[in-house]
Amino acid sequence: MTGPERSLTKTRPNEPCWCGSGRKYKRCHRAMDQARSVRAPTRRSDQPERRRIQKGVVGPRRAVPETIPRPDYAETSIPKRHAGRHVVRNDDARERMEKACWAAREVLDTVLAAVRPGITTDELDAIAHEEYLRRGGYPSPLNYHGYPKSLCTSVNEVICHGIPDDTVLETGDIVNCDVTIYLNGVHGDCSETVVVGEADPRTQQLVAVTRECLLRGIETVRPGGKIREIGRAIEAHATRFGYSVVRSFVGHGIGPGFHMDPQVPHYYDAQFRDEIVPGMTFTIEPMINLGTWRHVMWDDDWTAVTADLQLSAQFEHTVLCTDRGVRILTQSPDQEQPFEG
Ligand code: MF3
Ligand code: CO
Ligand code: CO
């Protein structure tokens, strides 16, 4: 990580930004540098040196057999509008959501078990891809608004939507693996962040607290409750540790469509008065940062990194509001449901 040498005078407006986003400096960090709203990353002597994540080489698109049912955007890249919130009204719809979500959990667990120093994020994508197909599912990310891969792998300062490539994971890294499967006509979506090899206590704490944030958010869900309570609980927990909550990416309704209403912010905003009703299925997926909540988008238009290049962690579940509380759909069916009432 470079320090003072990348000063204002060094980068010209039309030159590539010092942060590696691939964008022109004037369209990236210039305003932040001038306002000093986001401090340049400087190495603290008590912190280990960490490489900056850079764009790698993205391999060719993986094929999906014709026999596997595809979502509407698989060929066109443009999803059709799915009106309103998805409410699971009958046992059939509920079972289809459950099965898709369990399959997503199994795919994710297989990917996470493969994480080790020396593996590339594209090798993780290959594992995920095969696991989706083995279950008769389509990898929901593939060609969604043109996304080129079957998995999202977000390493260190990458907040979300990291594209698997030839980046080699190193000990001390953290990586979020985000799996979404399309199975039985519905999507199931979950993610976890894991440490690669061993990490310092500060990194471990960020990951542990982010997992807690997800559970604190889920815990607030109840019939007649409000969407805004989720973000209120998450933000309260994150700020206790001095962390920030990402505001530009939110949880979402999910079902026949990948991203549906409602939006689920992970921070408190009084305007999100939507009432939660039994049968609603949506994700909660807090992204929690060591430093600023602001992001910079790489010129691939997918990879979102923290503006100050400090670490970001994320955990995600798909949940169902039941008559009695909330059911975590993307946990293993053998595991006890913590908040079902
Ligand atoms: N799985 C991500 C989410 O939690 C979305 C990934 S969209 C993709 O909403 F196109 F990047 F795959
Ligand atoms: Co999601
Ligand atoms: Co996801």
Is residue 336 assigned to a domain? no
d(CA 277, CA 57): 44
| Pocket of ligand 1 contains residue 260 by CB under 6 Å | no
Strand-by-strand arrangement of the 317-321 sheet: 260-264, 251-253, 281-284, 317-321, 326-328
Is residue 8 assigned to a domain? yes
The secondary structure of 226-269 as a DSSP string is BHHHHHHHHHHHHHHTT-EE--SS-EEE-SSSSSEEEEE-SS--
123 and 240 housed in the same domain:
yes
d(CA 335, CA 26): 50
CA–centroid distance for 260 within its chain: 16
Ligand 1 atom at minimum distance from 161 CA = 11
d(CA 293, CA 266): 12
Domain count, the chain: 2
pTM score: 0.95
Ligand 1 atom at minimum distance from 140 CA = 12
Backbone φ and ψ for 292, nearest 5 degrees, come out as: -70, 150
pLDDT score, position 5 = 46
| Pocket of ligand 1 contains residue 182 by CB under 6 Å | no
Is residue 53 assigned to a domain? no
Is residue 155 assigned to a domain? yes
pLDDT score, position 2 = 41
* Ligand 2 centroid from CA 316, angstroms: 7
37 and 91 housed in the same domain:
no
Q: Which ligand is nearest to the CA of 142?
A: 1
Is residue 67 assigned to a domain? no
For the record, the structure tokens of 44 come out as: 């603290």
Ligand 1 atom at minimum distance from 141 CA = 12
* Nearest partner of 72 among 295, 256, 326, judged by Cα: 256
| Pocket of ligand 1 contains residue 143 by CB under 6 Å | no
Q: Which residue's CA lies nearest to atom 10 of ligand 1?
A: 141
d(CA 295, CA 146): 21
Helices (runs of H) and strands (runs of E) counted in the chain: 6, 15
d(CA 311, CA 299): 20
| Pocket of ligand 1 contains residue 192 by CB under 6 Å | no
Please, what sign has the CA dihedral across residues 303, 308, 311, 316? negative
* Ligand 1 centroid from CA 247, angstroms: 16
169 and 264 housed in the same domain:
yes
Q: Going residue by residue through the chain, which has 341 residues, state the pLDDT in tens, using 9 for 90 and above.
A: 444 445 455 789 999 999 999 999 999 999 988 887 665 556 666 666 789 999 999 999 999 999 999 999 999 999 998 877 889 999 999 999 999 999 999 999 999 999 999 999 999 999 999 999 999 999 999 999 999 999 999 999 999 999 999 999 999 999 999 999 999 999 999 999 999 999 999 999 999 999 999 999 999 999 999 999 999 999 999 999 999 999 999 999 999 999 999 999 999 999 999 999 999 999 999 999 999 999 999 999 999 999 999 999 999 999 999 999 999 999 999 999 999 98
Please answer whether residues 105 and 190 qualify as being in contact, where contact means their C-beta atoms are separated by less than 8 angstroms.
yes
Please, what sign has the CA dihedral across residues 228, 174, 154, 113? negative
13 and 108 housed in the same domain:
no
| Pocket of ligand 1 contains residue 96 by CB under 6 Å | no
| Pocket of ligand 1 contains residue 147 by CB under 6 Å | yes
Range of the domain at 311: 87-328
| Pocket of ligand 1 contains residue 180 by CB under 6 Å | yes
* Ligand 1 centroid from CA 152, angstroms: 7
